[in-house]
Amino acid sequence: MKDMTYEAVMARQNEIMGKALGIDYSDYERDGIVFDYEAMMDDVGIMVDEVARIQKDMGVGNTPLMDMKNITALARKIAKPGYGARILVKDEAANPSGSFKARRAALSVWDARRKGYEGVIAATSGNYGAAVASMAARLGLKCIVIQECYDSEIKGQPEILEKQRKCEALGAEVIQMTVGPELFYYALSLLEETGFYNASLYSPSAIAGIETLGVEIARQCRREYNLVPDVVIATHAGGGNLTGTARGLIKAGLKETKVYAASVDLSGLSMASDRDFNRKSFTTGHTGFGIPFASLPDRSDVPRNAARALRYIDRYLLVKQGEVFYTTEMLASLEGIERGPAGNTSLAAAFALSRELPQEQTIVVQETEYTGAGKHPMPQLTFARQNGIDVCFGDPEEEIAGQSIVLPVHPSMIRVRDYDMGRLRLSALRRMAEGRDQWSGEEILYMAAEINLGAEETEALLRDLQVAEQREG
């Protein structure tokens, strides 16, 4: 009998995860802190066009790229003359499970089948679980979804419960848990017990599956609109969405297109807090995941995270909860399209950004997601009120996460807010350089790639960190 105490299982986590993915992550460790990220991605073993063919066979991909003519017209109406960039939206809700995550799930479940696993396990807030369940049903594999659904009073958000319903409807066994560190422990225990495949959000196959999204955006922009997008905005949480899309854009030749992250600003709330769990109205796509995963990607459920968003982020935009709810209604009222909250996070950022860019430029909102009873703004706002959140109209700048949701009284109040990329890079660099004061040339190049800067700039930041640490010491 194996020791199944929390401490013992966590001590075996690398061994368990290696067996559950069929990957020996030590193959990619190099001298010092260097990790050969590209070699790991190359070992997925199939080119992006072959990934697209696999996904097509599973009913995934080739989603529409829609012109938001009315939303663009509104942005131009309230922008200064000559400004108001065109906004296009990639409608990923057209995928079988209703979100872009069908792409990463398709390749992960396909990888599980080619490696001979009988089933798959996913630990997720819901959309990815639904995608894994959908693809597992299509390929005839068993599926278990482990989901944080409730606080300690067994109270769950409408959005999370909607995702739970969808996972079950698509054939998964859903294990419902309360918020806390037990989720990862329980996932590891089940992976060890069942011998199933770890359909992690952060495996190389999962990220390679999203690369087709970036390729499609590039090809559709050229073919259908005769343009190259100036900016692609991706809702950012764990980083896979942005990482895969950016890599796909690069593979399609769009190396000059800027990739912006967008997250809901939930500053001040702890994602692991029982008290805060139901005081936020967004379960993903927020700063509670976006900031820590950007600066420390290997905090994930695999030894080395294939989602390394900071390598690709050119700018990080923040929006408020009230702005996203308002944008959800705007999309329905002006364009006749009702979609769920995650994609509307990046649409809110795109609407604000549009007014800062000339009319001849183009912004692509990289995804939508399905909506449903629990994902609609009304049940979410009602639930917020029931949890003591003040919901009102006013200036979203006055919104305080966990205390209020402020819906803008005018669309001009949807604003661009930049998260400090310098601060984010310093945070990531500090973690990589911890306990060291000298690095090889190869390590400098690795750190530079990780924070998306040149080698000389990275060395300058390292010197600044050393000076700051000496002062603190």
- Kindly state whether residues 334 and 188 are assigned to the same domain: no
**pLDDT tens figures, 332-388:** 999 999 998 888 999 999 999 999 999 999 999 999 999 988 889 999 999 999 999
- Kindly state whether residues 331 and 455 are assigned to the same domain: no
Q: What does the pLDDT read at residue 473?
A: 64
- Kindly state whether residues 172 and 143 are assigned to the same domain: yes
Provide the 8-state DSSP code for 286.
B
Cα–Cα distances (Å) from 437 to 355, 357, 451, in that order, read 45, 42, 18
Please list, in sequence order, all residues whose beta carbon lies within 8 angstroms of the beta carbon of residue 57, skipping any fewer than 6 positions away. none
Element (H, E) at 440: none
**pLDDT tens figures, 282-337:** 888 999 999 999 999 998 888 899 999 999 999 999 999 999 999 999 999 999 99
Q: Is residue 1 part of a domain?
A: no
- Kindly state whether residues 427 and 396 are assigned to the same domain: no
pLDDT in tens, the chain (473 residues): 789 999 999 899 889 988 999 999 999 999 999 999 999 999 999 999 999 999 999 999 999 999 999 999 999 999 999 999 999 999 999 999 999 999 999 999 999 999 999 999 999 877 899 999 999 999 999 999 999 889 999 999 899 899 899 999 999 999 999 987 788 899 999 999 999 999 999 999 999 999 999 999 999 999 999 999 999 999 999 999 999 999 999 999 999 999 999 999 999 998 778 889 899 998 889 999 999 999 999 988 888 999 999 999 999 999 999 999 999 999 999 999 999 888 899 999 999 999 999 999 999 999 999 998 888 999 999 999 999 999 999 999 999 999 999 999 999 999 999 999 999 999 999 999 988 889 999 999 999 999 999 999 999 999 988 877 777 76
Q: What does the pLDDT read at residue 184?
A: 86
* Phi-psi map region of 22: left, alpha, beta (phi>0 left; psi -120 to 50 alpha): left
Domain end marker among 204, 229, 264? 204
Query: For 395-425, what is the HEC assignment?
Result: CHHHCCCCCEEEEECCHHHCCCEECCHHHHH
- Kindly state whether residues 440 and 374 are assigned to the same domain: no
Domain end marker among 204, 225, 260? 204
d(CA 332, CA 401): 25
The DSSP bridge pattern shows strands 86-90 and 65-67 to be: antiparallel
CATH number at residue 287: 3.40.50.1100
| pTM score, whole prediction | 0.95
Cα–Cα distances (Å) from 227 to 54, 73, 362, in that order, read 28, 19, 8
- Kindly state whether residues 158 and 270 are assigned to the same domain: no
Cα–Cα distances (Å) from 348 to 72, 263, 290, 330, in that order, read 12, 10, 17, 10
Residue with tokens 């959000």: 201
Residue with tokens 């703004």: 377
Q: Is residue 81 part of a domain?
A: yes
- Please choose, from the candidates 111, 120, 130, 114, the residue with its C-alpha nearest in 3D space to the C-alpha of residue 190: 120
What are the phi and psi torsion angles at 418 (to 5°)? -100, 130
Q: What does the pLDDT read at residue 207?
A: 97
- Kindly state whether residues 265 and 326 are assigned to the same domain: yes
Q: What does the pLDDT read at residue 408?
A: 98
Range of the domain at 356: 60-96+205-418
Element (H, E) at 370: none
Chain-centroid distance, C-alpha 275: 24
- Kindly state whether residues 368 and 398 are assigned to the same domain: yes
- Kindly state whether residues 252 and 317 are assigned to the same domain: yes
- Kindly state whether residues 302 and 262 are assigned to the same domain: yes
Per-residue tokens: 372: 């449903």
Q: Is residue 275 part of a domain?
A: yes
In the chain, what is the straight-line distance between the N-terminal and C-terminal CA atoms, in Å?
A: 48
Q: What does the pLDDT read at residue 21?
A: 92
CATH number at residue 447: 1.10.10
Q: Is residue 124 part of a domain?
A: yes
- Kindly state whether residues 145 and 11 are assigned to the same domain: yes
What are the phi and psi torsion angles at 138 (to 5°)? -70, -35
Q: Other C-beta atoms within 10 Å of 467: how many?
A: 10
Q: Is residue 450 part of a domain?
A: yes
- Kindly state whether residues 355 and 430 are assigned to the same domain: no
Q: How many domains does the chain have?
A: 3
